[in-house]
Structure 1
């Protein structure tokens, strides 16, 4: 009788943990992403379970790219889960027009009130912000692509992506050299 009670208790605890949104994340959510500070609480909903998070940053004259991957059980896998691109776009070019097809492929892009203009899709987001570094009229384009499976409640991921972009934009703009 005791054994079955223990099994029921353990089973109830496991069901409760799964039902409360527990994850199998064995790594600390980064406090820096692509070389700039990020709020781990805002980033966490966009990262999957796994053992270790890795970032590969590539700085360029016009900005930077960053590939974020998470290794699976036993350090295997290392699949890309997020790609961030930060670019200085010359005056006259519209990043939202240039990236229109990508946003459509990413699923149902909608305008959101972030920066000067922004779109959030099911698996990507793009924000633009006036950024006249060193006296040049340029626009900062901040793109985030997610490569995790589309969840059943995609609206929650869209909200998480919007919160992330809203929080991350000021540090990305500063890293780009934008004046406020």
Structure 2
């Protein structure tokens, strides 16, 4: 009887692609924050490539935009951004300005646009005295080859946008 169960279990694993060896070739720890914005590493991991080292670098190209670049083995894997835009802009306007986001699906509340290689979020309750006439958007762009996961992207942009809304930038 135990042998029969073992054979069934083996067949299920063969069909499902199970392995006793880990297929994950990540030798680094997934970051728990993206430039001071906390993120659940479990949401970020599926979007990052295999590799040995990971680094996170903050960039502020202009006063209305901040970037957080995640590099794996020295190559850009993912970039998050926070950008103050004019009132009236929507997630599609922001997505149209970003190279890695093509197409995508907009949520029913128009708060998020997500695709396999990127996403945009619209902060609902964010204000800042330095940006009185603007609204804050978040974005994530994937640059790692072979990564295209709209479901994971939707989860990450939602969590990232909510974390930004709780941060000091929205005070």
- TM-score of the pair, normalised by structure 2: 0.75
C-alpha distance in 2 between matches for 1:87 and 1:120? 17
Q: Aligned in 2, Cα 1:94/1:146: closer, same or farther, shift over 3 Å?
A: same
C-alpha distance in 2 between matches for 1:127 and 1:95? 6
Which residue number in structure 1 is paired with residue 27 of structure 2? 26
Could you tell me how far 1:138 is from its partner in structure 2?
2.5
- Contact 1:27-1:52 within 8 A present in 2 as well: yes
Provide the alpha-carbon RMSD of the alignment: 2.7
Q: Which moved more, 1:92-101 or 1:79-88?
A: 92-101
C-alpha distance in 2 between matches for 1:27 and 1:102? 28
Q: Which moved more, 1:122-131 or 1:45-54?
A: 122-131
- Contact 1:88-1:176 within 8 A present in 2 as well: no
- Contact 1:126-1:144 within 8 A present in 2 as well: yes
- TM-score of the pair, normalised by structure 1: 0.71
C-alpha distance in 2 between matches for 1:108 and 1:147? 16
Which residue number in structure 1 is paired with residue 135 of structure 2? 139
Which residue number in structure 2 is paired with residue 16 of structure 1? 19
Which residue number in structure 1 is paired with residue 123 of structure 2? 129
Aligned positions, number: 152
- Contact 1:35-1:57 within 8 A present in 2 as well: no
Structure 1 residue runs without a partner (length 5+): 1-11, 72-77
Which residue number in structure 2 is paired with residue 61 of structure 1? 63
Q: Aligned in 2, Cα 1:56/1:159: closer, same or farther, shift over 3 Å?
A: same
C-alpha distance in 1 between matches for 2:27 and 2:49? 10
Q: Secondary structure of 1:28's match? A: coil
- Contact 1:127-1:143 within 8 A present in 2 as well: yes
Structure 2 residue runs without a partner (length 5+): 1-13
| 2:98 counterpart of 1:106 | no
